[in-house]
Structure 1
Amino acid sequence: MGRTKNHRGQGLGATDPVPVWAEWTDEQLLDLRMCDLDLRLEGTFYQEPMAQLARELETRRLTFRPHFWISDEWFTPDGVPGIAVPFYLAHPRLTKLEASQMLEVEGGTRDWCMRILRHEAGHAIENAYLLRRRRRRQKLFGRSSQPYPEYYTPRPYSRSFVRHLDVWYAQSHPDEDFAETFAVWLDPHSLWKERYRGWPVIKKLDFMDRLMGELAGTTPVVTGRQLLDPLPRIYKTLRDHYEEKRKHYGIGRTPSYDTDLKKLFSDGPTHAKNPSAAEFLRRTRKEIRRRVAEWTGEYQYTIDQVLEGMIERCQASKLHLTQHKEQAKLDFAILLTVQTMNYLHSGRHKVAL
């Protein structure tokens, strides 16, 4: 099979020591079609996490092994016992592009990648053994026929769901609840019996433990290796991909921050010679954004949209600092967290995966 050619007629194959696009600027790379990346899983960041997932399944005496392919994001198609993984972790240059476009790299650390793989494996094994048809599964988790929401409003303090991926993802849909519960059960370090003792969710975990015990050593019912949206069939450019992705995780409203900002900063003459609040926030933007992401579990891109709006209001209102910079940084991070959580609870929170 001939190697894919780019618009300059140069080979882009993964068999090349260094793909030609690895040396391109972001602007050049964004105009490349995704199908022309010509990526492979072998020898990439994914290799060891996938091997670890196989070891964890083997430890549980499960014969099921999901198949993998590269696509535009993390997902497991309905009815398919396999997992699609995003292109950007298959090459360091693409990882760097993802970070520049989205401000973070979902699954970009070993631990984060494993959490996502265990979650997706929960979907895949449910497909492989047709587990959605079981009445006990439906009673504990709900029916898969329930429509997926575009947005959902989580209950942060609910003890009826495990806490695995960020933003209380188990609460978004019965299938996600099942996958999250499986992920916690599979994780050899979760200590789920101790951590969730006395919580209503322990019934789901006990059910998962018994169910997987029944499946141990058995052959999956569904063994096909279907691929949905594999990268070679995605013809949009990286630029189009990121424009769509940013729109999905952006915020479609412009709330007023003025009242809260004027409690923290000042537009009065007494503080006019102090540092500009807008300039201060721009300098500390990355640090504050990361801190709030850790506190809330939200995507940094979403947080940054709130932060950008607050910076704009600080500039328009000509606000200045009223206290020491470190204290101002902490107080503003708390305010940004509140604004992010208000968005989270507004009923317009994006389902993340």
Structure 2
Amino acid sequence: MAATIDLENADEKQLLQSRLCDLPLRIENTWLKEVIDRLYAELEARGLSFKPPCYLGDEWFSPEGVPVIALPFYLAHPKLVQLERKMIGEAEGENRDEAMRLLRHECGHAFVHAFKLTARKTWREVFGHPRKPFSDYYRYQPYSKSYVRNLKDFYAQSHPEEDFAETFAVWLNPDQNWRELYADWPALRKLEYIESLVPALGDKTVKVKRSQYFFHISSLKKKLENHYRQKRRLYIEHEPDFFDEDLKLVFPLTETKARTAAGRFLSANRKELEESVGRYTGEKKVMIRNLFNRLKKRCDTLGLCVENANSAKALMAFTAYLTSLVSNHRYTNRYKPAK
């Protein structure tokens, strides 16, 4: 049996060689207990007796068909939050506001699981068919008023069940007047549907067996090193250096003094680039601009430059590169073909 690791004194190497189940973590006596209690108070304020049990797992989720919520283990200790940031680039839910948004969202899933709502005809009429395939990648309409906005990346548009969870989160949030905020939106119908469920389900509770706490941290035998290796494969396109090697080819190192910073060069040609790429790909300008800004920022970080004598060639090369990225993402939901 492996010894429990001393989190206070362990270095990064020791942490990565530790199994998740050997981490001495609990929700009690941490700030997570406070946000969970706040969630329960919000449910009660909305007229619901439902209080889904919460436990530590390897990520944010509510297991299919089970009215419980798993919170990512790293949030239970500052040193693990720091490691998560280093390995992934962010620690999702590390501040209270974001944690509450995520908790309300997962509570929406747990609510569906508790009362088998997706089997109802009215649920499907409002949100769509729950058997629509899930995908980590989806195309969204950034200006659509048919969906509420809670988590980033317009997550409500990814799947009918995510739409419900996001709508539930907005409905539950006491800091938002959803009737006023979504007064002239088609999404209001979804919020009113959730409100209509309260009279029948308000006083109902659900019992959950401990054996249904799937992927509880105590059952996870994998080492953190393997956990992060798997997770980084999923997040690779979001890592800051994902485009670095390509950008260095587009803007190769130059010793000439007659040069311009690549970021400044791109800013000067932004309008022409966006119009050209939009014309060839049919993609929305907001999508192109978001990617353009990400690439420009990376050029600034890398200190890339353009030879003034080759500016036309550089503009052509970058236009081709940006067009290929946008086209790939439009049709495959990935910037580059998977290796």
Give the TM-score of the pair, scaled to structure 2.
0.75
Distance 1:203 1:236, change over 3 A: same
User: What amino acid maps onto 1:178 in structure 2?
Assistant: F
Q: Does 1:126 align with 2:98?
A: no
Q: Give deviations 1:115-169, integer Å, cap 9, x for gaps.
A: 0000000000111111111111011111212221232111111111101000010
User: What amino acid maps onto 2:170 in structure 1?
Assistant: V
How many residue pairs get matched? 293
Q: Which residue of 2 aligns with 1:348?
A: 333
Q: Does 1:88 align with 2:77?
A: no
2:26 is aligned, of 30, 40, 51, to 40
Q: Does 1:138 align with 2:158?
A: no
Q: Which residue of 2 aligns with 1:292?
A: none
Distance 1:193 1:271, change over 3 A: farther
Report the alpha carbon displacement of residue 90 of structure 1 after superposing the two structures with TM.
Answer: 0.7
Q: Does 1:57 align with 2:50?
A: no
1:189 is aligned, of 175, 178, 191, to 175
Q: Give 1:197-216 correspondences, 5 Å limit.
A: 197-216=183-202
Q: Give 1:300-315 correspondences, 5 Å limit.
A: 310=299, 315=304
User: What amino acid maps onto 2:63 in structure 1?
Assistant: P
> Would you tell me which structure has more helix in proportion to its own residues?
2
Residues 250 and 305 in structure 1, CA contact (< 8 A), matched pair in contact too: no
Q: Which residue of 1 aligns with 2:96?
A: 110
Q: Does 1:29 align with 2:15?
A: yes
**SS in structure 2 at match of 1:21:** coil
Q: Does 1:240 align with 2:247?
A: no
Report the alpha carbon displacement of residue 256 of structure 1 after superposing the two structures with TM.
Answer: 9.3
Distance 1:52 1:89, change over 3 A: same
Which whole-Å CA distance do the structure 2 matches of 1:349 and 1:172 have between them? 15
Residues 152 and 348 in structure 1, CA contact (< 8 A), matched pair in contact too: yes
RCO higher in structure (CA 8 A, sep ≥6): 1
Instruction: Note the aligned Cα RMSD (angstroms).
Output: 3.9
Give the TM-score of the pair, scaled to structure 1.
0.72
Residues 95 and 105 in structure 1, CA contact (< 8 A), matched pair in contact too: yes
Q: Give deviations 1:190-237, integer Å, cap 9, x for gaps.
A: 2111111111111111111111233212344x6445111111211111
User: What amino acid maps onto 1:81 in structure 2?
Assistant: P
Q: Give deviations 1:240-276, integer Å, cap 9, x for gaps.
A: 11111111011298699669x77xx99694544x779
Which whole-Å CA distance do the structure 1 matches of 2:101 and 2:13 have between them? 32
Which whole-Å CA distance do the structure 2 matches of 1:209 and 1:137 have between them? 13
Residues 257 and 313 in structure 1, CA contact (< 8 A), matched pair in contact too: no
Which whole-Å CA distance do the structure 2 matches of 1:121 and 1:248 have between them? 24
Q: Which residue of 1 aligns with 2:281?
A: none
User: What amino acid maps onto 1:164 in structure 2?
Assistant: N
1:164 is aligned, of 150, 159, 162, to 150
Contiguous gaps of at least 5 residues in structure 1: 13-19, 278-295, 297-301, 322-336
User: What amino acid maps onto 1:156 in structure 2?
Assistant: P
Residues 58 and 71 in structure 2, CA contact (< 8 A), matched pair in contact too: yes
Contiguous gaps of at least 5 residues in structure 2: 264-285, 309-321
Distance 1:341 1:162, change over 3 A: farther
Comparing 126-135 and 245-254, the one that deviates more:
245-254
% identity of equivalent residues:
36
Residues 52 and 68 in structure 2, CA contact (< 8 A), matched pair in contact too: yes
Q: Which residue of 2 aligns with 1:229?
A: 215
Q: Which residue of 2 aligns with 1:291?
A: none
